[in-house]
Structure 1
Amino acid sequence: MKYGWIVLILILCNGCVNKDTVVKNGLSPEMVSVRDSLDTYFSSLTALKKYNGVVLAYKQDTLLLEKAYNLNEDPESSTYVTAHSQFDIHSVSKLMAYYLVAKLEGEGKLSGSQNLDMFFKGFPKGKQITLNMLLEHSSGLPRELSHIDGEEYDLVSDEIVVLAQQERLLFEPGTDVQYSNVGYEILYNIVSKMYGKPFSQCVVDEIFVPLKMNASGAHFFVKENRLRSLAQNHVLKDSVVVKVDNIQRDEFRTARLFSTVNDLKKFLDHVKSEPYASFLKNEHGIIAKDGGSKGVRAQVYSDLENSFDFVLLANYDEMPFFDTIEDVVKLLKSEPVEFPREINRKAILLDEKVLQQYVGSYTFADFDGLVLEVKVEQNHLVILQDGEKIGELLAESPTVFFENPKAAESFEFIKNDSGTYDALMGWKGITVQGKRD
């Protein structure tokens, strides 16, 4: 009898220990599974030389993962990063501009319904283009400036606005959507005028300082240098990881911000509360923004309905970016994903009649109006840019083609309304559509 009581006490104590362990760690078995899946995913991506950076993930306000993944574990390596490394965040600055517009609107100093004529006299279609259209990329303004003489780096904000007024609108304001860096440069200028200081200084004073984002700052147009441990950007060139300049001469300097995963989480925590959440979230209850340039990628993401947040920063741009973001969202919802694995695609031969129907020129609006020409050469499709051959496509199916059998990116042809074909081109996890000329 005594032995039976001892066994029962041991069982109960073991149960108590396990319970205390879960409470102490703050993770349920389900949370542990999600954490381990995230870690396995990024470890696999790194092992395939597709990722170098830092991931921070929370679910139900509980920290799941805060980890740096390195291609080279040597701290002296130029790729090496830690959880405290600062990364350039590029277009994540647009979410901060969105927030500042919301803040100014809440203070009665600005309204999303105001038009550009209220700020810039003589702006083409200025009575039709509203601040909300700039925020939502529906103004009709192009992605980049086309009337520039020199480099974007040399321009200050007022000069960018003058050049923007010379651009031809791609469509009537409010009738379509086209991602526009130019539109946001105008917003940066308006926010700057409202506060009476450069946009970057507005971000520091109105966001970074109040939220104690002490490791965040800007490269230009600020009083204080907050740069301490900036991650060096990298690209893959001829199968070798090489450094590239973090500051590119073909980019505007107006909103060149940098931050860390933990600082960006502070920003997410602030904007996902009211009154800002209602202003910033989409119809699915998500506040998110991606950013990137040559050698760098950034993502902030908060799902208000499913109670999870993550920040992803990378100083190497070989990651299949949007595929990865989609997979992280699924993992945080405990949904199944296919983990990164080595790819070996097989080519097939197609009749030349099939290939001939794809011959033509394709314009990719999302790549600054890039025009690629498709021709048939020795029973294969080839890609030309400005008359120069830049690649050869192998057929995986009658409509899907690839260049690198080790990469997931495809060049797919889809029938359009006129009965000819448009093209879907994959590039580092991004898919963009090319219209047949």
Structure 2
Amino acid sequence: MGTTESAPLSVEDIRADFPILEREFDGTPLVYLDNAATSQTPDQVVDAIVEYYRTYNSNVHRGLHQLSQEASIAYEDAHDRVAEFIGASGEREEIVFTKNATESMNTVAYAWGLEELGPGDEIVLTEMEHHAALVTWQQIAKKTGASVRFIEVDEDGYLDMDHARELIGPDTAMVSVVHVSNTLGTVNPVSELADLAHEQDALIFVDGAQSVPHMPVDVEAIDADFFAFSGHKMCGPTGVGVLYGKKHLLEEMQPYLYGGMMIEKVTFDDSTWHDLPWKFEAGTPVIAQGIALAEACDYLDEIGMENVHRHGEALAEYAYDRLSEFEDIEILGPAGDDRAALVSFNLESVHAHDVSEILNAHGVAVRAGDHCTQPLHDKLGVAASARASFYIYNTREEVDKLVEALEDARELFA
């Protein structure tokens, strides 16, 4: 599990592992503050990908030759490494590699939801859910006759837990909740929500896309039934996501993607499925990406996930304090000392897209839009927001550059 705590985080040494951070645009250094969308990839992870393609590139579980044996072992070991990183004692049998967290959610929604849900069943979400969860469960509800209910978000950006206790009841079949809001920076009490779900014999699905990269996560301590995250937000490559599921649940579920590798026996009349986790990994899987994701886990553990967590929180609090100095900047979500490593904000009378363009001219890369949380933005009464999100290689000086660029934006639109 990723709870290793090593020597204090050295940002200067870490930045040396990310050559992209040395880029300049017309002489202006890059300040990369879009880590909630995707993190950068260190040389160690890139090297793992290159080594696979240069030395043992082969398909897995299909060949008896040496290359296939080497690739198969590395790919299987990657599942074990990811299981260790998130505290899954069931190891590889509880870890399914997908192409991203969205596909992980869809896997459960289709493989479990279409079979188990029906009229009268309720799916409980939150108002801060990413579209990956909200849209997926919304559409599954339409197909099954189930209904979707939403735990409200209060004016400070927290879940209304009294409302949660009212909503999660005898008709609840699934609670699906984001661990860390990608818009508000709120860290949700997922263990408490898991208890509420299980008291009603319901399951809980936790979206960990914004938590696994930034803090120690133990899926068994949370008591999550399902848990999803993506490699590209945690120093890994694009194209690989993870679905964790309790072994007994994955065993009971039927796959919804069919083809090679996920089968045990095929006749002209019927087919049977491979063991876990392979029955959910149809076709040629994400071999290079999965191996590289394991390397990303090693990289983060070497830094120490507690160190990663403290660094991100400290930068978010510093950014919150600096932005709070300006009366014409509205910050979304909780106070600076109680949020994850991101700050979403708006400059009065200036659209977030315009803010982003001005910041880009200063070399500062942020996200602008609704961050795949359009219903949440509607509730907050804002069309869009700008989001600065931080990671292990960011510095306080880069936050200062963000603020300086915002001052220029203010003057330009005055």
- With the shorter chain as reference, the TM-score category is under 0.3
Which is greater in Rg? 1
| Higher share in helix | 2
What TM-score do the two structures reach when normalised by structure 2?
0.28
| Higher share in strand | 1
What TM-score do the two structures reach when normalised by structure 1?
0.27
